[in-house]
Structure 1
Amino acid sequence: MGRLWFNGAIYTMEAENRTVEAVYTENGKVVDAGSAQKLRSEHAPLEEMDLQGASMYPGFQDSHLHMLGLGETLLSLDFSAMESAAKMKQALQEKKNQLEPGQWLTGEGWNENNFTDRKIFHRWELDEIAGDSPVLLTRICRHAALVNSKALHLAGITEDTPDPPGGIIVRDEQGRPTGYLLDTAVDLVKQVMPPVRDEELREALQSAVQEMLRKGLTGGHTEDLNYYGGFKRTFQVFEDLINHKSLKFRTNLLVHHEVLEDMHYHGFRFGPVNDSLSFGAVKIFADGALGARTALLQKPYNDAPETCGVTVTSKEDMESIVKRARDKGMPAAVHVIGDAALEYTVDVLEKNPPPEGTRDRLIHGQVTPADLIGRLQQMNVAFDLQPRFVVSDFPWVQERLGEERLHCSFAWKTLMDEGLHCAGSSDAPIEPVSPLEGIHAAVARRKPGVSHSGWLPEEKLSRFEAVQLYTRGSAKAVSAEEEYGIIAPGFRADFTILENDIFQVPLDEIVTTAVKAVVVDDTLQYGTLTT
């Protein structure tokens, strides 16, 4: 009654170099694995899927991203690949010419560290470009944005406006807002923007899922429910599209703490909604990002000694939120980048352990001192890592942190060697959503085609360890390692099938390897296979 998958390199990921000749699947699960002849004889499959020499792996999953944000970026003005302020200005001028009078000019992904002059546009420069159009340009880290005078006026932000809790309105020497907003200060402008339309949300989610499938992903853990007009409206978009009927795509929805009560009011609980869609941990932001100097550090920034960063959620507030999550039987997922934020997050989670059968999640964890690793080893937590941050953040991050802190930063190999659970992700749209780019970055710790030995080369992962991040690691992040992450009897029939064997090709060819097919629940969701 089932299918036989054969004629390729089938990596089970149970152990390094562990392969099987064929796999037999039925009703969405792996039933047996071994020789093709044996499986044909014992199971008499109704259909045979010829891999034609391709390589097959357990389905890759991105353990932390923003799917609606990814879709928005795919559909909007994207600055992420621009390497000069002049190109960014040109793109803004061209976009402005396409707008109706007074229409918002928006864009995503600018990064001054990619510009030779490190330029950050002032609101008056944006005024010249945009005229009567309000402007909101989101930085690559999504913890900062640029706005013009019109947007400041609509938001009621003046010289007298105080910084909101967890945010900063950057000002000039006369105390006037420059148009550069950090963390929660961005929300002051977002609150006065026109609400996104339902059809725009649907288009964004559809675009994101198709892009993720094209890149070889069978699922992702996403945080979107607090940003698009409320829980019910946003969740409905996910439920309508990812219904496990017309579309099968394993989607774990992190629940921002501000919509936790709404989720329960509407009758939803932690766990599965259907076989593709489930509610995950309660999301909390401890701090900001290194790029905007809002990640919370124990000592001042090396290149800005006047600041240690920003506390987005205080220790006291975090403990209150975590206790609410525990009352509802839910783990926590904490955005934490700086070592000071990690320390007080560990304090809170140690005192309030997760419900039995679940794990708390530490998203990013970019500065991880040895004393905190020792405490984390005694806790039930998983790290959601973004290997591609190494490619994007070096060398400028060395300026931020200084040599003293660098040895315990972006320390993926150390975390894994110390026995901590680690999952792989992109934080898309902040980084490219391709898991192959993440795998390459974890192994090479440099851009493809660059000849140096990699940033902090002692923290390089093996290819097996890197692939594990996106298979067993992503499963462990949601305490589902007995359901998926390896190819073995009883596990989900979710597969990522690649044209080349990424364990064998030259290292830089990992990122150019084509995705042949993506299978979810024993069902082809992308690509073609010969039967």
Structure 2
Amino acid sequence: MGTLWYNGTFFTMQNEHETVEAVYVENGWITEVGKKDTLEKKYADSIRERHNLKQLFIYPGFVDSHLHMVGHGEKLIRLDLSGIQAAEEMKTKLVQASTETKRDDWIFGEGWNENNFSDRKIFHKQELDEISHGNPMFLTRICRHAALVNSRALALAGIKKETKDPEGGVIVRDDSGEPTGYLLDTAADLVKAVMPKVSDEYVERALKVAVDDLYRVGLVGGHTEDLHYYGGFKQTFSQFQKVIDGKKRKFRAHLLVHHEAIAEMEAEGYEKGEVTSYLELGAVKIFADGALGGRTAYLRKPYTDDPSTSGVAIHTEESLQQLVKQARAKNRPVAIHAIGDGALEMTLTALERYPLKEGRDRLIHVQIADPSLIERMKKLPVILDLQPRFVASDFPWVIERLGEERIQYSFAWKTLLQAGLPCAGGSDAPIEPADPLLGIHAAITRKSVGEEHEGYVPEQKLTPFEAVQLFTSGSAYAIEKEHERGQIREGFVADFTVLDQNLFTIAPDDIVHANVGMTIVDNSIMYKKSE
């Protein structure tokens, strides 16, 4: 039984401007592309379904190369603070949430960002105490590398004046040494450890909400990292298997495995590779540093706007190398979060010392990389996992963080591509919106939607073709699937993102207004926009 998709413009993404007018599919795989009449005649006895795409524009299915799917679902079902532009507005939201929370239940909030506030205010625990009325409170910063908590949460976690900073984290304190309620990186884990255990039902709900929302924005798949945070590997992976069942929901989920979840993965009898057609286990995920927003990204030189700190290295050089060595013992690739140039330098040293025998390692974010670091990356089998939308959300305040000299080789996507380094594109949702059109727009324009200027560091702008490649062939290359995903051609999966606009010819600022007509996975329509 075959399916003919026709009356649309199919961008093969093999070469710029290359299109075909019809695609014939069997068993979820593209058998042939070409002219409609030719395919109609050749497969007349096999065609059982025909889909008239009504002159829409079809791309290889967009795949987000870096997100947190359960976290994305949580953002949609919890108190979302990401769009708030003023401290008073955040307070109002928290007061409302507090009145709706049962006594002793936790109050959770997601995505606050003080850089959006004119006064850059970071709430103190005493202010949160007044708002929360005795309920424990945990508010995750937009970067997910910092959190605000109140006194009740600190008490439950046993965090006092005498408590030492954990390795890879900082308990922010006032002049007298008292914790303020602001916790950076692994310090927040001290509070997470005393939170109520999440239920299977909660993880399932978050995943369902996430997948359905990802369909809506045109995503057919995503490379996600969730298996360490929601009850451990077994509990979380079982919900992935339940939700992405290949029937009601088809979605190409590639799951990175946090290094602390590897032992449980092995105990459950799993190894890297495909589990089903839609679920596969990937590289060992390691965090080398934090994020620029909270000044926890690890830099080689101090922050320009706070010379007292160079950020936070999650691991010592020795312990980071040991984690890579452990992965290599099983010939596993690693996926290392490295935002600052200090973290990237540590990471490259570890990869050079313990080279991968086959496959590719993943460098996640790579937001600051000078020419010397680029030369080192070129000699390694790595894929760079970039988040173009960070340009829109981090500028202009990031110029204060890094200074004019460093900013010239920061967020430098064009430079990385011109160096011949393979790159993939993601959102880091829930930190950024999951919509790939926002990422494509940011890669092309180097600015936020609605801003009127030439773009931040405009020489780093990508062409529309380069930007779309990040989310198609780039994401496929990141997981060694470049010979079967990321293009519309014979022998590739029938995953398509259908839009009502030609992203290669419309004005760049109009890209964000394009509508997703369909999201198709494995030749199945998983989302269709209402007429």
> Same fold per TM (> 0.5)?
yes
Tell me if 1:137 matches 2:139. yes
| 1:132-531 superposed matches below 5 A | 132-356=134-358, 358-527=359-528
The one-letter amino acid of 1:366's match is Q
Look up the SS of the partner of 1:51 in the other structure.
Answer: strand
Where does residue 87 of structure 2 map in the other structure? 85
Aligned mates of 2:148, 2:349 — CA distance in 1 = 34
Report deviation, 1:51: 0.8
> For residues 450 and 89 of structure 2, what CA distance do their matches in structure 1 show?
24
* Deviations 1:273-300, CA, capped at 9 Å, x for gaps: 0000000000000011101101110100
Partner Cα distance (2:453, 2:167) in 1: 42
Give, in angstroms, the shift of residue 329 of structure 1. Answer: 2.8
Taking the aligned partners of 1:498 and 1:426, their CA distance within structure 2 comes to 19
Partner amino acid, structure 1, of 2:394: D
Cα distance in 1, alignment partners of residues 164 and 354 from structure 2: 34
Aligned counterparts of 1:329 and 1:36: Cα–Cα separation in 2 = 46
Which residue pairs with 1:37 in the alignment?
Answer: 37
Indicate the RMSD between aligned Cα atoms, in angstroms.
1.1
Q: Would the aligned equivalents of 1:50 and 1:529 in 2 still touch at CA under 8 Å? A: no
- Report % sequence identity: 55
1:58 aligns with 2:60: yes
Query: Deviation of residue 355 (structure 1)?
Result: 3.6
Q: Distance in 2 between matches of 1:321 and 1:268?
A: 19
Task: Tell me the distance in 2 between the aligned counterparts of 1:529 and 1:230.
Answer: 38
Q: Aligned partner of 1:460: which letter?
A: K
Deviation at 1:528?
A: 6.1
Deviations 1:424-458 (A, max 9, x none): 00000000000000000000111122110001100
1:5 matched residue in structure 2: 5
State the distance in 1 between where 2:152 and 2:6 align.
61
Give the match for residue 26 of structure 2.
Answer: 26
Post-superposition shift, 1:324?
A: 1.8
- Which amino acid is 1:493 matched to? A
State the distance in 1 between where 2:157 and 2:201 align.
26
Shift of 1:328: 2.1
Q: Is the 8 A contact 1:51 1:529 kept in 2?
A: no
Alpha-carbon separation, structure 1, partners of 2:350 and 2:227? 24
The gaps in structure 2 that reach 5 residues or longer are none
Alpha carbons 1:243, 1:277 under 8 Å: kept:
no
Structure 1 Cα separation of the partners of residues 305 and 258 of structure 2: 32
Distance (Å, rounded) in 1 between the aligned partners of 2:251 and 2:105: 35
Deviation string 1:461-482 (CA, Å, 9 cap, x unpaired) is 0000000000000011111101
Partner of 1:95: 97
| Cα displacement (A) at 1:246 | 2.7
Q: What one-letter code is carried by the residue in structure 2 that aligns with 1:391?
A: A
TM-score for both structures, normalised by structure 1: 0.98
Summarize deviations over 1:150-178 as a string: whole Å, max 9, x none: 11111100100000000000000011101
CA distance in structure 2 between the partners assigned to 1:441 and 1:204 by the alignment: 27
> How far 1:523 moved relative to its partner?
1.1
Conserved? CA contact 2:496–2:519, under 8 Å = yes
Distance 1:355 1:180 in 2: 42
Alpha-carbon offset, residue 419 of structure 1: 0.5
* Distance in 1 between residues matched to 2:457 and 2:361, nearest whole Å: 28
The answer (yes or no) to whether the contact 1:284–1:313 under 8 Å persists in 2 is: no
SS in 2 for 1:333: strand
Aligned partners of 1:154, 1:13: CA distance in 2, in Å?
A: 53
Shift of 1:524: 1.1
User: Cα deviations across residues 47-67 of structure 1 (Å, max 9, x unaligned)?
Assistant: 211110110000000000000
SS state at 1:483 partner:
coil
The 4+ residue runs of structure 1 with deviation greater than 2 A are none
| Aligned equivalents of 1:479, 1:243: Cα separation in 2 | 23
The CA deviation at 1:529 is 10
**2: CA distance, partners of 1:388 / 1:355:** 33
Please identify, of 317-326 and 252-261, the stretch whose mean Cα deviation from structure 2 is larger: 317-326
SS in 2 for 1:353: coil
Aligned-partner Cα distance in 2 for 1:464–1:289: 29
Could you report, residue by residue, the CA deviation over 1:182-239 in whole angstroms, capped at 9, with x for unpaired residues? 0000000011111112111110000000010000000000000000111111111001
Quote the Cα distance in structure 2 between the aligned partners of 1:202 and 1:288.
28
Given residue 27 of structure 1, which amino acid in structure 2 is its aligned partner? N
Contact (CA 8 Å) 1:49, 1:529: kept in 2 or not? no
Alignment coverage as a number of residue pairs: 529
Query: What SS is found at the alignment partner of 2:526?
Result: strand
SS in 1 for 2:83: coil
Deviations 1:292-341 (A, max 9, x none): 10111010000110111111022211222112212223210000000011
- The 3 A distance-change label for structure 1 pair 394 and 529 is closer
Q: Is the 8 A contact 1:243 1:274 kept in 2?
A: no
Give SS of 1:54's match. Answer: strand
Residue 516 of structure 2 contacts residue 529 of structure 2 at CA under 8 Å; is this kept in 1?
Answer: no
Rounded to whole Å, the distance in 2 between the matches of 1:353 and 1:245 is 40
CA distance in 2, matches of 1:211, 1:528: 12
8 Å Cα contact 1:331-1:355 kept in structure 2: no
SS, match of residue 32 in structure 2: strand
SS, match of residue 80 in structure 2: coil
Secondary structure class of the residue paired with 1:423: strand
Task: Judge conservation of contact 1:483–1:490 (CA < 8 Å) in 2.
Answer: yes
